[in-house]
Amino acid sequence: MGRGALPAYMEGWPKPGVPVRLVVKTWSGKVEHIGLALPSSAPKLITMKLQNGYNVSFPESYVDSFEVLEDMPSIEEEVDEIEPQDETLPLVHLIHTGGTIASKVDYATGAVTARFDPHELLDAVPELRKIARIRAVKLGNMWSDDLRPRHWNRMLKATEEAFAEGAVGCVITHGTDTLHISSAAMSYGWSGQGGRPPGRIVLTGSQRSPDRGSSDATENLIASVHWAAHGPAPSGYRDSSVVIVHASSSDGRCAVLPGCACRKYHSSRRDAFKPINQEALAFVDIGGDSVSIDYSPEAHDARVESIAPKQFDESVRIAQFISDPHLHPDQVQGAIDAGFDALLFHGTGLGHLPISDPEEDSLENTRLRVMLEDHISEGGVVVMVTNTIHGPVNMNVYSKGRDQKEIGIIGHGSLCPPGSALVKLHHLLSVGGRESVEEGWEMDLVGENPAFSRS
């Protein structure tokens, strides 16, 4: 079969496993792919396995032409040299940690595996070549739920090295499950002490793997690289680190969210992230052959540029507890006895714990109160956030809250989201001890707490 437009409903598309050369139309021009035909991953899509093992799908309307090949050319025969990048474009470091945005589907098992090498992102998303000069840096292939504070430090170091090499921005590809926590770490690491990073830092991920027709991976990458290369200069407040995700289930518009104050709120939707207690910073619109930024500058003076980010003390350990009917004092005592550096409680409502026993039938409540009182009097750090996610911690409304303040629980008035609060607490403990936490919690360090109120 020779070249020709793909017939409607995939008539003429070769059987699975047949080598094929496919030309597709993108907003940046025609792109040629060589690989093996695969069964369609969804109606009116064509799917093929590229020579590097990556599976891609395109709508039928994207197809310009195709040609069935007698044999599968070797990579060496087909790729004589690496396509040079445009040296006039700004330099952006693409820092790979893992996640769905850089994953493949193993069709033998149906499992999604994080094994996508960073250089393959350029092959899969050639549009990036017209936006920036890309340097790919691989930190690992990790699911985001396996990340620890040591990995925050490696990301901070990688961004520091990128800026030292002349990059104007960095894009960190990351699994979505803890992306908001790592973005907060980049914010506090670079700006928690009052400075700002030398360039833009973007964390991005995708909810759906790149071979799926509904994937958000390509647009998230395009929007992220565009922001990193051409976005506004960071002030160090709210925008020292940003997360870019789909703002809706439709294509063409990505939200730019403050990395210090957002959260993953849905397990599967493409618009899984929302800002907490504040609005989005901007939007990136992708359409036709252009990418644009919808942005209204905030009235914040730019901070002094940081020489290097503040690393997190990797020996710090924080124990977290959910305030509910099954919070028992022996759980908390175990963390105290184990020497955890701080206790972080996700309180009910305005930030409450089960420490009252009005019916005199719940002695464990009284024991928890006495335990916390003793721990704090001996220098222990206890911080409160609210498990309602949105809204402030306000321990002045009810007598219980006022009792919590009286015994020394920190957190009243804070609007900092729970995930960001965990990182803020770790940052302050890395700077100093209890005094740093007490002082720092009343401050709006990076935009995590824009309307801090002690009322």
Residue 86 lies in a domain: no
Comparing CA positions, the residue from 232, 237, 254, 253 lying closest to residue 245 is 254
Q: Is residue 243 part of a domain?
A: yes
pLDDT at 76 over 60: no
Task: Check whether residue 293 and residue 334 sit in a common domain.
Answer: no
Q: Do 347 and 386 form a contact (C-beta atoms < 8 A)?
A: yes
Q: Would you say residue 450 lies in a domain?
A: no
Mean pLDDT of the chain: 85
Which residues, listed in sequence order, are joined to residue 92 by a DSSP beta bridge? 134, 169
Sign of CA dihedral 324, 326, 332, 335: negative
Residues 426-439: pLDDT tens digits? 999 999 988 899 99
Q: Are residues 341 and 285 both part of a single domain? A: no
Residue 11 is given by DSSP the state T
Residues 132, 196 within the same domain: yes
Q: How far is CA 280 from the centre of its chain?
A: 15
- Are 259 and 424 in contact, with CB atoms under 8 Å apart? no
Instruction: Give the residue numbers annotated as catalytic, written as ranges.
Output: 100, 176-177, 264
Domain boundary residue, one of 49, 78, 107: 78
In 9-109, which residue ranges form alpha helices assigned H by DSSP? 75-78
Query: What does 317-349 look like in DSSP terms, one character per residue?
Result: -EEEEE-STT--HHHHHHHHHTT-SEEEEEEBT
Residue 124 one-letter amino acid? A
b/e sequence 253-288, b meaning 16+ C-beta within 10 Å:
bbbbbbbbbbbbeeeebbbbbbbbbbebbbbbebee
Q: Is 206 in the same domain as 257?
A: yes
What does the pLDDT average to over 111-121? 53
Query: How sure is the predictor about 454, in pLDDT bands with cuts at 50, 70 and 90?
Result: very low
Kindly state whether residue 329 falls inside one of the protein's structural domains: yes
Same domain? For 97 and 232 the reply is yes
Are 300 and 327 part of one and the same domain?
no
Q: Residue 258, SS3?
A: strand
**Residue 80 clears pLDDT 60, i.e. is over it:** no
Q: Which of 26, 30, 50 is nearest to 38 (CA)?
A: 50
pLDDT over 80 at 404, yes or no? yes
Instruction: Name the phi and psi angles at 135, rounded to 5.
Output: -120, 120
Q: List, in sequence order, the alpha helices (H) in 260-320.
A: none
Q: Is the pLDDT of residue 123 over 60?
A: yes
Domain stops at, among 44, 78, 112: 78
Report which secondary-structure segment, H or E, holds 406.
Answer: helix 399-407
- pLDDT band at 416, cuts 50/70/90? very high
Q: At 100, which CATH number? A: 3.40.50.1170
* Cα–Cα distance, 207 to 243 (Å, whole number): 13
Residue 180: inside a domain, yes or no?
yes
Same domain, 226 and 248: yes
Task: Please state the φ and ψ torsions of residue 252, each to the nearest 5 degrees.
Answer: 100, -5
CATH number of the domain to which 59 belongs: 2.30.30.520
Coil, strand or helix: which one is 54? Answer: coil
Full domain range(s) for residue 49: 8-78
Q: Which of 66-80, 89-103, 281-295 has the lowest mean pLDDT?
A: 66-80
In this prediction, residue 103 carries a pLDDT of 59
Alpha helix ranges (H) inside 165-296: 179-191, 217-230
Same domain, 110 and 241: yes
For residue 73, pLDDT beyond 90: no
Total domain count for the chain?
3
Residues 6+ apart with CB under 8 A from 101: 173, 174, 175, 204, 205, 206, 210, 217, 220, 221
Reading the block at residue 142, the tokens are: 């990790």
* pLDDT tens profile 236-294: 998 878 876 655 555 688 999 999 999 888 877 778 888 999 999 999 998 877 899 99
Secondary structure element (H or E) that encloses residue 434, with its range = helix 434-441
For 19, 70, 167, 175, 198, the CA distances from 10, given in Å and listed in that order, are 16, 20, 44, 34, 50
User: HSE on the CB side for 115, CA within 13 Å?
Assistant: 10
Pairing outcome for strands 290-295 and 63-68: unpaired
Percent share of the chain, pLDDT over 90: 54
**CB-side exposure of 309: number of CA atoms within 13 Å?**
32
Claim to verify: residue 130 and residue 223 sit in the same structural domain:
yes
Residue 241 lies in a domain: yes
Do residues 448 and 416 lie in contact, with contact meaning Cβ atoms separated by under 8 Å? yes
**Model confidence band, residue 415 (pLDDT cutoffs 50, 70, 90):** very high
pLDDT category, 213, cuts 50, 70, 90? very low
Residue tagged 């990556």 (tokens):
54
Residue 346 is assigned to a structural domain of this protein = yes
Q: Residues 237, 352: one domain?
A: no
| Cα gap 364→328, rounded to integer Å | 7
Which of these ranges, 34-48, 69-83, 301-315, 370-384, has the smallest mean pLDDT? 69-83
Mean pLDDT to the nearest integer, 51-69:
78
Single out the residue in 272, 305, 338 at which a domain terminates.
305
Query: Would the pLDDT of 8 be above 70?
Result: no
User: What number is the average pLDDT over the span 315-334?
Assistant: 97
Please, which pLDDT band fits residue 119 given cuts at 50, 70 and 90?
low
Residue 127 sits in the same domain as residue 204:
yes
* C-alpha span between 404 and 396 (Å, rounded): 10
**CATH number (domain holding residue 343):** 3.40.50.40
Question: Is 232 contained in some domain?
Answer: yes
Least confident span in 27-36, 47-56, 373-382: 47-56
> Which residue, chain included where needed, has tokens 């490696």?
154
Strands 242-246 and 200-204: parallel
Same domain, 326 and 411: yes
Q: Count of alpha carbons within 13 Å of 410, Cβ hemisphere only?
A: 25
Contacting residues for 24 by C-beta, under 8 A, at least 6 apart: 30, 31, 33, 58, 62, 63, 64
